[in-house]
Chain A
């Protein structure tokens, strides 16, 4: 089957029922999305498809008709996406393992709502978990990125 990811088209020989996560990680070498729960509860595996945050651990590859963007595909021409830059400026991560999900979910949130309120940030990010509890800084970084993009 054929998958378009971060601007490149790949042909992979796998069972189309395979969750997208394993194809991205093990066949395409894209390791931004990571396994956290495998059941759609944490967001560590998030990718972006058609402007939506998609949990690749529960999405069969066969369900993907459009281009997939992973964390590796956010930067343009070597320049980090404003959300990524805000993450560095705010020094958000502790271990960083969840941050793929946080960054990808935040990007989608800001694309849909460039100037979210505190409440909208909380609810928009509610299901993206961080066990290091970087929530406070993530929320600050989202506001910082919103400002930078304005």
Chain B
């Protein structure tokens, strides 16, 4: 490739670390002084796995006294890359702006799994800190030899080792090792356990952690200079577009290639099983050809699914395909039988899409017997394995180069386009770029499972919550795996049938409430069509959390209202009347968060609902709390409900957030604001609709999303450190992201109840649904 600017600078740098002159024309880039990473032995292909037990795989020190960090993660838009750099800089003792970071390319970064589970900081941050501490230890030893002074008499600042008593005696990291390998072996049973012999620093000695350096990835996103995965091109590259079955489960009967053969730029129609793609020289030609191609499909004999308006009836009647083991405490049935007051309610959450701002896309280059996929796949390592298996190629001839893309909220954990691009590139033996169309993505992306939940609760005569029963059906019997060769859509369309399918797990509420009697159980149910279906489910940002928490935290509010208790006080009583706590002190931190949220909001204690006023706009506020893994949040929504239009505007949001040690407070605030709004979109707008043949919500009109008009006027994010020993030197850093998404649906529903006295038990709270509920209640 003559124009190297087509390759992003960080990718170019990565590529230059390896001598690929023999491998692929487009990879023939200049050598640099950077030492190559360490690889596992005995690999024949061009892409052996970087060895996580070698320090050189993680950290490279350059002659100019700068450093490059290599980590096996990807950034979905939360600025985790900046946070990794902060943590590693602190442990290595190097200035932030003297470093850069490379993420997620399978041949040059160790496999830390990419992203998922909001565990980047909580789990993967630890090996990063430890290897950086180990590099510092090794460099200090080298400095000791060079300066002829014992390590104990040395100090290090900004990558310069100096003698404490004689600061003019000094040597830089670059002088000690620049451009050469460490050749230091690390230990650890798996990548998460990777460690050297050095210890990480106590929290009090961290200088960058807790500060908010600006995200390094933002300027190139703002000035247009960043090259994204959508921008990748290669010489001889062609463009492909898919032609999806018009009806779910349809069988391909025939393709009339003559319908497009004479179109300009036409290259080929490629198909296998029910997978069909059209390939053309230019992008707009491929789009035109995919629209014009005549394909004869045969509808399935039985309907693939019920229509969306019948979904919950269907789910409630369906025989579970699997059930979780009930979580029980005390004797729930007896407690309900003896309760002074029993409440029962059904909550419903429809399928919701991932619907990234841009559809799935990837470019694959098959030159010289290898396969490189340029992709925004969040789990690039799994994608590499999945594609190698799908194509029947050795793993070490396949690599995935991760590049930035539209945030997919879990969509790219099963990134169809990468598999399609690779398969087409192999078929055509030339580079292929695939991008889905909007209607295709919105209809066929993976879906967050629909939930039907039934809750029962009992109060004693004093208004104490003494029994809590939860039972749910989750429509999640065809959960796609992570970039699995058997379950990505192209594979299913080609006829692969993984048996049994990956059933989803269902889920039950998680909280630290002291309720003496509980019974909680979840079931999974399936739709008639399991394979090749647009209603296949996947992990949607905090899988199951928003659904289950909508039901449980709304119902807790119902119980509070029945007890005529203030919703904050009711929750505080349930939290504080418990004894003991888990190792992460979640109960103590929940108390701190609920308190902090109420204080930040200016919560005045009173039962809900507020007395409904007479004006056109009714206002109210609602709270909900939740945790995920070790991170705790409490959120408050303040709403305006237009009683004539049924329109809900959330005008203010508060979040109290406790994820332990915060690496970058400003970054976390942004993530929190945006995570709350994403869940607000699920509360107010998002629903997948379908008839008995196909998904009918296919674009931003039929599958609406939150817009600028819906943005709250004010958002307060309070970062809480509710640890009982908040200044401990080993304060852990937990995951910041997905917990934020859990309580919002309930907080909004609770606020609408406060404003109107009407309890909405089905999201989204679109105008028509709210209006009819208000009318039915005479509000």
Interface residues in chain A, defined as those with a beta carbon under 8 Å from any beta carbon in chain B: 14-15, 18-19, 22, 25-26, 29-32, 34-39, 41-42, 44, 70-72, 74-75, 80, 84, 87-88, 91-100, 103, 118, 121-123, 125-139
Contact = CB atoms under 8 A, between A and B. Distances in A.
Contacts of A31: 224, 227-228, 230-231
Q: Main secondary structure on chain A at its contact with chain B?
A: loop
Interface stretch (B18-26, B105-113, B664-672): B664-672
Nearest to A84: B222
- Considering residues A37, A80, A132, A138, which has the most beta carbons from chain B within 10 angstroms of its beta carbon? A132
Interface stretch (B84-92, B149-157, B708-716, B721-729): B708-716
Interface in B195-237: 214-215, 217-219, 221-228, 230-231, 233
A99 B422 CA distance: 29
Contacts of A92: 218, 222
Contacts of B681: 133
B221 A131 contact: no
A66 B193 CA distance: 59
B228 A97 contact: yes
Interface in B646-680: 666-667, 670-671, 673-675, 677-678, 680
Given A44-B357, A94-B78, A130-B357, A121 B700 contact: no
Interface string B676-696: 011011000000000000000
B431 to A, nearest CB: 14
A39 to B, nearest CB: 6
B405 interface: yes
- Considering residues B77, B264, B355, which has the most beta carbons from chain A within 10 angstroms of its beta carbon? B77
A122 B711 contact: yes
Interface of B: 6, 76-78, 214-215, 217-219, 221-228, 230-231, 233, 264, 282-284, 287, 355-359, 404-407, 409, 435, 437-438, 666-667, 670-671, 673-675, 677-678, 680-681, 699-701, 705-713, 715
A93 B680 CA distance: 18
Nearest to B230: A34
A35 B230 contact: yes
Nearest to B76: A95
A133 B677 contact: yes
Contacts of A118: 713
Contact of A135 (B78, B355, B706): B706
13 contacts: A18-B284, A25-B231, A37-B699, A71-B224, A72-B224, A92-B218, A92-B222, A93-B221, A94-B77, A95-B406, A100-B224, A128-B708, A131-B409
A99 B438 contact: no
A16 to B, nearest CB: 12
A127 B222 contact: no
Contact of B224 (A32, A35, A38, A97): A32
Nearest to A41: B700
A32 B709 CA distance: 25
Contacts of A39: 438, 699
Nearest to B226: A96
Contacts of B712: 136
B219 A135 contact: no
Contact of B218 (A37, A88, A98): A88
Contact of A26 (B227, B283, B355): B283
A144 B347 CA distance: 42
Q: Main secondary structure on chain B at its contact with chain A?
A: loop
A97 B218 contact: no
Given A71-B223, A87-B218, A131 B709 contact: no
A97 B670 contact: no
Given A31-B231, A80-B222, A95 B407 contact: yes
A63 to B, nearest CB: 15
Nearest to B233: A26
B654 to A, nearest CB: 13
Nearest to A70: B224
A64 B405 CA distance: 29
A131 B76 CA distance: 12
A98 B231 CA distance: 15
Given A41-B701, A93-B222, A137-B670, 4 more contacts: A36-B358, A87-B218, A96-B221, A129-B707
Given A71-B224, A133-B681, A135-B708, A37 B77 contact: no
Contact of A91 (B218, B231, B708): B218
B214 A88 contact: yes
A99 B709 CA distance: 17
B678 A132 contact: yes
Given A93-B218, A97-B405, A136 B357 contact: no
A94 B357 contact: no
A88 B699 contact: no
Contact of A19 (B284, B409, B713): B284
A36 B282 CA distance: 18
Contacts of A133: 673-675, 677-678, 680-681, 706
A128 B705 CA distance: 11
A131 B445 CA distance: 15
B357 A131 contact: yes
A80 B667 CA distance: 22
